[in-house]
Each structure stands twice: as C-alpha cells, then as structure tokens.
Structure 1
Amino acid sequence: MNHRITYLNFDNSLTEQSFLQKYPHQWIGCSDIPHTNGFCKEESLNEIRKRLQSNKASPLVLIGNGNFHYVTYLLLERIKKPFSLVLFDHHDDMKQDVLTLISCGSWVRYALERISNLNKVVIIGVNEENKTAKLTKIEEKRVHIITKQKVNKFSLYETIYEVRRFLREEKNIYVSIDKDVLFKTEAHTNWDQGNISLVQLLFLLENIVEHYQVVGIDICGEYVINHENRFKQVTWEYVKMNEIVNRTLLKFINELVVVPQESLLA
C-alpha cells in the first residue's frame, strides 16, 4: 500500500534527495528551531512535538541525519497501545546523560523511563565498543542488544529467532532504522558505521515484520551537507547513495508493511 510519508527538515539533508519527492508526502520544517543538534533543550523538544501534532505526522517518518534520532522518542509517545521497539543502529543510544536533556545518544533510555506503553526494546547491529548501556536485572528483561559481531556470527534466521524469542507474545512493534548500521560502501552517515549489508537489513526486516503489527517506522542517518563539503564531488555521491537506500527501504515498506494510519496513534 502507498503510505503518505512525513519528511522532517532539520538540516536540508533530505531536500537534496529529489527522487523522494515522487512519493505522497508532507514536509515539516524544523530547521528554525534552536538547540536541536545532537542534544535538545526541553522547550525545543516541545516545539518539535507541537509541529508533529499540528501537522499530523504520518506513521512513516524520515528524520534526517543521526544527530536528530531522538525525535523517535516523540514518535513513540503517540502510540496508544502497548508496543515494543525494534531498532537497527550501530550504537545503543542508551547513554545515561548527566544533563536532563534528551540526546541522540540517550533517547532509548529516555523513552524506557517515560513511555508507559513501551514494553521492550531490541537493538540490532550495535558495535561491541559502542555499547554504553550497563543494564540492571530489571532492564535486562526489557532491553536486548544483538551486536553486529553476533549478526555476523549467526545466520540471519538465528538473529530473527533471537528477536522473536525475546519479544515473545508482543503484538505491536515500532521499527527505527539508523543507516549507520550499514557498510559505508552502501550508505554514508555522519557517524562511525557498521558492517551489515542492505540485503541483510531487508532480510531481517521482512522476516521480523511479518510476525507483528507494525505501528510506525522511521529512518535516519543522512549525510550532512555544509559549506565545507558542498562543492566536493564525493558529497553528492554520498547523497545519492543514501537516496538509493531510502528508496529501497520505502519500496519495501510500501510493498510489505501495513501501517495503521490512525488507529494506534494519538
């Protein structure tokens, strides 16, 4: 089915991907909101929330570069029924920040502490060296990390089995994809990257989503264009690589995933 897609414009990384304009979509401008890059002040987070609500952001959202991945927290807030998060990311995004601000590195822990409908979190593709979470026994019942080292060691079906075994009887899932989980030869982000191929990602996605009701999906991990790299040929190669990955993911979602437009979202 064809989904209306919401594109968030924090950094113009998506506006340069012209093919994306061919999908039914809406834009929500966020580039004028201060204090949002990496860390987000509470008043700025409230303004982003307000714009998502007033524009009725769809269940399928492209966020921009990974510095704004914390927006997923606001997208999870909208879900009315119990659900679990399946996150593809090269980082666990579970830092215990000293500051009370939400950040791109702490939003998963932030969500676990504040969203009552969020039952469990599975994070796939994390580099062992990027694991920041020291899980308590209680947290271990709610969070399961499958590192990229495990994905490479296991068969893909073993990874899927591990996800389903942890989620058990969960019915609803939200999927968040940071393209930094992929090889740099397939997508190029502003963070260190993993070694999962796009084909492996699609394989895992297909075999996971067929067992659950998907209540929302977001994608981030765009390459940041700035005054220093704008006139370099390689910059536009990176933009095109990311666009091709986004197009592939959107095609997959449109063909195989049925996302409810309203029923589970506030």
Structure 2
Amino acid sequence: MNLLLLHLDDALELQPDFRSAAEKSGAREMNEKVLGQTIRLWSRRGPLDSLKRRLACRAPTPPWHPRLCFMGSGDFHHVSALLIQEAADAIAKPLTVVHIDNHPDWVHFRDGIHCGSWVGSALTHWNVHKVITLGVCSDDLRSPERKGANLGLLATGRLEVFPYEHAPSVVRQHYGEGASYRQRGMHLNWVQMLDFSEEMFIERLLSRIATDAVYITIDKDVLCAEDAATNWDQGRLRLATVLRLIREVGRRHQVAGADVIGDYSRPRYRGSLVTQALKRGEILIDQPWVGPDPKRASAINASTNLSLMHVLMEVMG
C-alpha cells in the first residue's frame, strides 16, 4: 500500500502526532501548498493537470499498489477525481466509488472542477461504474435543481445518494425512481440511513456495490463536531459508524484506493484578483463565518485521521 500525505494547505503540518505516525507507517509526503492556493475550492484544468503529473511522478514503481492519500481541507475534494482516475487506470476493471460526505458534490461546473462538482467528472471515466454517496445532511438537497445539481446522474443510476437524514427535495422535472429515492409528484423522497439499523444499512450498501473493486473517499464534514472540525457545515455520522462501514466494505471488496479530506485550515488563494474575490465571496455564502479554534481542530482531526489511517491501511493490505 502507498500512503501519501499531500500538503495542499497547512492542516496536516499542524498535526504532528498524526504526521509522525504516518511517517512510521511509511508515508511519503508532497509539499504542494503553493499549487494548493491556486486550486483551492475550484480550479481550471491546467493547474489540476499539473498536479496530476506531479502525483504520477511520485507514484511508486510497478507493481502498482493502492494509494491512500490524506490531503487537508474539504476545499480540495475535487483532487479526488484525479486519484480515482489514477486508481481506475491502474486496475483496468469496473470500479465503484463509495463517497462518504455531508455534501453530494454533484453540481454542474464549466471549464474546470469544483470541490462540489467532482462526482460528475469522476463518472466520465470509462470504468467508474457508479458513485454511492452516504451521509448527506446539508441543505444541498433542499432545492437541488436551483443549486445546480446534475440530477440526471441519479436518473441514469450512475449515482446513488443515501442521506443520513433529509426532508424530500423539491424539484420541477421528473426523474423517476432509483435505489436511493422515489419521486412523488414534485418531490424526491430519499432512502435515508436512519431508516435502517446500522447493520441493515451496511447490508443495503453492500448490495448496491456490483463491482469487485471500490474506491473510498471520505470528507470528514460528514462527522459530528465531536469527531471532526472542518471548513464546512457538518453532518451527524459518528466516527465509529464510518470505521465500521469501511471494514465491512473492505471485507467483501478490493479497496483499490482511498482518500481522506475535511481538516480545517485557514483559506488562502492565489490567482487573479477576480478569481480570489469570487472564491472569497463563495465561501461567505457556503461556509460558516466563524471557524473552529485552531488548536482544538488540529487535535480532533489528528485523532480521527489516526483512526481512519489504521482502518484504511487494514482493508487496503
């Protein structure tokens, strides 16, 4: 297994205990904080292609081993699309993405990738069979069409979204029904995780994975405040539930890659003044105005990262 600490911000550097444990487990490190300021929140293709080439240069020599990557803030979730493509290319067989997040990351975005749009980008790869999103509680589901959601992915069955708990979504068009929702009039009624016991939901999840290989991507904003401190509004899952989900998926499937994001870090941007202004304006709308205490955030996130690292290393061999 290939363990990578990808420094796109300073979040992991502020977790010395986690960083030390990762180094003892053989982690490699990449310092891409300058590029991180350019691609944070969203990016055009050029900077992302540059990061993709740098990741390829730092990949271990063949034979290929699954990569587990920690990479700081959830503002970088679109980098997961690069890592998923890397894993999909390497295994050259159908792959299911298990996406654990408080946000569905399903919006349309032109001329690049947004941290909230990467799901559609990942699904363009020829052997990414499906994305299954778990744990959403956010308002992104309230009026998804108005917020730019690509609900066509749901209608085709390429995307399944199982919220932790959420009221029906108001829509104007017809999307039929799928494994994770039923349309009744102008509402999408979701199959929620809370509709099941933990054991029953795990079995339902496993029944929806039709491929041998899976990729797991985790945004810690899916967790309650006791288990994570992030740049985004947070969900209600507990860490113990996420760890159990990972173990059960790993028992029955080949985990071909994984990444973890969701550490709080102070936003810093590079680019034109217009680009920086657009990004700062966007986070004023979408993110909490008051961040967590930095020391407390680092302590909580380091502990959670250690737990996730151990379990993911276990299932990835």
Does residue 57 of structure 2 align to residue 54 of structure 1?
yes
- 2:159 corresponds in structure 1 to 143
Question: AA paired with 1:104?
Answer: C
Contact 2:250 2:316 (C-alpha < 8 Å) held by counterparts: no
Equivalent of 2:139 in 115, 126, 129 = 129
Match of 1:264 in 2: none
Gap change, CA 1:158 and 1:250, over 3 Å in 2: same
> What is the alpha-carbon distance in structure 2 between the residues aligned to residue 126 and residue 233 of structure 1?
21
Q: TM-score, normalised by structure 1?
A: 0.87
- Partner SS for 2:257: strand
Q: Following the alignment from structure 1 to structure 2, what is the Cα–Cα distance between the partners of residues 105 and 233?
A: 22
Question: Aligned partners of 2:250, 2:227: CA distance in 1, in Å?
Answer: 23
Q: Hey, what does 1:194 align to over in structure 2?
A: 235
CA drift at 1:181: 0.4
The alignment partner of 1:170 has SS state of: coil
Counterpart of 2:98, as a letter, is: V
Q: How does 1:12-91 map to 2 (within 5 A)?
A: 12-19=10-17, 20-23=19-22, 24-33=26-35, 35-56=38-59, 59-78=67-86, 79=88, 80-91=92-103
1:235 equivalent in structure 2: 294
Q: Which runs of 5+ in 2 are unaligned?
A: 61-65, 166-191, 269-290
Q: What's the Cα RMSD here? A: 2.1
In the TM superposition, residue 88 of structure 1 has moved relative to its aligned partner by 0.2
Cα deviation per residue 1:229-249 (whole Å; 9 max; x = unaligned)?
A: xxx993101111000000011
Q: Quote how far apart the aligned CAs of 1:137 are.
A: 7.4
4+ runs deviating over 6 angstroms: none
**TM-score of the superposed pair, with normalisation by structure 2:** 0.74
Structure 1 segment 250-265 matched on structure 2, within 5 A: 250-254=309-313, 256-259=314-317
In structure 1, what is the equivalent of residue 171 of structure 2?
Answer: none
Aligned residues: 249
Identical pairs, percent: 27
How much does 1:176 deviate?
A: 0.4
The structure whose Rg is larger is: 2
What is the letter of the counterpart of residue 30 of structure 1? E
TM-superposed CA distance for 1:81, in Å, is 2.2
Over 3 Å counting, the alpha-carbon distance change for 1:164 and 1:129 in structure 2 is same
